[in-house]
Structure 1
């Protein structure tokens, strides 16, 4: 799959090099990568650390910046070539990336910011393997309390910690008694609101259980359709082991296995040690077979 992803990146460069203008269709890139547009966007964000749209924008304005400094085309010609409807719109986008307007950049030869062309490759580190299983589940319900929080890649997420503290032990105990199926006990469920996996991107975090029981009115409910789940296990120091597991799934497991992520929450069951320094983690990711 990595080869197909790189072919999609090649298509982006071909589009930027042509005098086509306009936006690049993400569905076309997904077809080249032999996957759905939804999975392609999510996988790209996880691998690249930015949304597909942001990468294309940065590459577009990197190419445009080189053309501005070269001086072979007028600024309006460059704007139209790269899909901007007016010189003003181009100037705003140019300044947002480069910190200077195109006219001033051409007059002064200012230093510009460049987004390098990306390519994906598989890096094998150590000799560890990823433990996983595929589970088929009927419709399920995530029951608990949710909060809108920013994504944090490393270290404690203060917003999540504050949300859990706000629930109180009595509420968490009542919630735990509702658990009646796998993944058992108190879990965390993450619902990504955009394709972005950048630091700071907003998501819905649920402190919850998976349950078919009658739900008291004090709790929120998230209905999840039936489907396949890839269940990963890991053990190590907190919070690094959990955060690295998430990273490795998207950067190593998905590119080398015939599955694509499908819409749904990513559910984590955590069994911490008494001192909370280490934990055993079980991460449930909604998946479907990738079409060839």
Structure 2
């Protein structure tokens, strides 16, 4: 209950300051958590970033203002953080399908993005199997792709990237140099302000040079929460990742440590209904 109260307090803060410049540090402070953990948690639970939530709420309120008053479009644009009528009109049209100047017309349809609130939901899900692991830092080699999280595109882009590295021979090459952890899918270099992160299909670097068509990345020493995923890819592991943020973090005294997240793909057929793999999330004790 306390955790939910803190999350709802953060929403209260966002709503009360919706006309001001977004200050993620203050929002995270209301939730008594780190800036990184709050942003990662918010996105995984709601499906949108904090910045995207604020943008949609502002455009919702802007439409209401235009529809119920004779205020000028430029004044509404400035009120909700847009520096020019052009930038406001572009964002407004993308969300509502009409220009701001058309709002006062008869029978115009507008979209409303409601205020969020967090509630307890008893799902009756199966227990989540996990263990805590301490691991020294290590290096990996592989291929990377910049991924956007806007509108949940990451859940589409990453499976397509796996198809690509499976078809171009990269996975076969990685398997020839694989370490004890197997083939890895790594989410790292998160940029919440741009709704982006880097995804790397990789294997541990055991020795030798890095091939020209691959990159080398450092995975820092961390305390990891390691979760078991059972089922065909990519649905099973995506479901586990969502449950980590919506169920496990709120129920424990941990928060995200801010480092890379690992998907550890163990030997077997990833399309098999009993296929096992793991999700490694870096954690801190709050």
Instruction: Specify the TM-score bucket, using the shorter chain as the normaliser.
Output: 0.7 to 0.9
Partner residue in 2 for 1:36: 34
Shift of 1:214: 2.1
Q: Is 1:266 matched up with 2:268?
A: no
**5+ residue gaps in structure 2?**
none
Cα deviation, 1:231-280, whole Å, max 9, x if unaligned, reads 11132333322111111111111122222223332212233645832311
Distance in 2 (alpha carbons) for counterparts of 1:255 and 1:222: 30
**Pairs aligned (count):** 277
Partner residue in 2 for 1:174: 176
Could you tell me whether the CA contact under 8 Å between 2:175 and 2:203 is conserved in 1?
Answer: no
2:209 corresponds, among 216, 222, 226, to 216
Partner residue in 2 for 1:8: 10
Distance of aligned partners of 1:124 and 1:236 in 2 relative to their CA distance in 1, 3 Å threshold: farther
Partner residue in 1 for 2:113: 115
Q: Is 1:205 matched up with 2:199?
A: yes
Deviation beyond 6 Å, 4+ runs, structure 1: none
- With CA pairs under 8 Å and 6+ residues apart, which has the higher RCO, 1 or 2? 1
Task: Give the alignment of 1:1-292 within 5 angstroms.
Answer: 1-16=3-18, 21-71=19-69, 73-108=71-106, 110-148=108-146, 151-153=153-155, 157-167=159-169, 171-176=173-178, 179=179, 184-191=181-188, 193-195=190-192, 203-211=197-205, 213-218=206-211, 219-271=214-266, 273-274=268-269, 276-278=271-273, 279-290=275-286
Distance in 2 (alpha carbons) for counterparts of 1:280 and 1:251: 21
Could you tell me whether the CA contact under 8 Å between 1:142 and 1:223 is conserved in 2?
Answer: yes
| SS class of match (1:153) | helix
Give the alignment's TM-score, normalised by structure 1: 0.83
| SS class of match (1:223) | strand
Shift of 1:63: 0.8
**5+ residue gaps in structure 1?**
none
| SS class of match (2:266) | strand
Distance of aligned partners of 1:90 and 1:203 in 2 relative to their CA distance in 1, 3 Å threshold: closer
Cα deviation, 1:82-116, whole Å, max 9, x if unaligned, reads 23334444333322321212221124452111111
| SS class of match (1:120) | coil
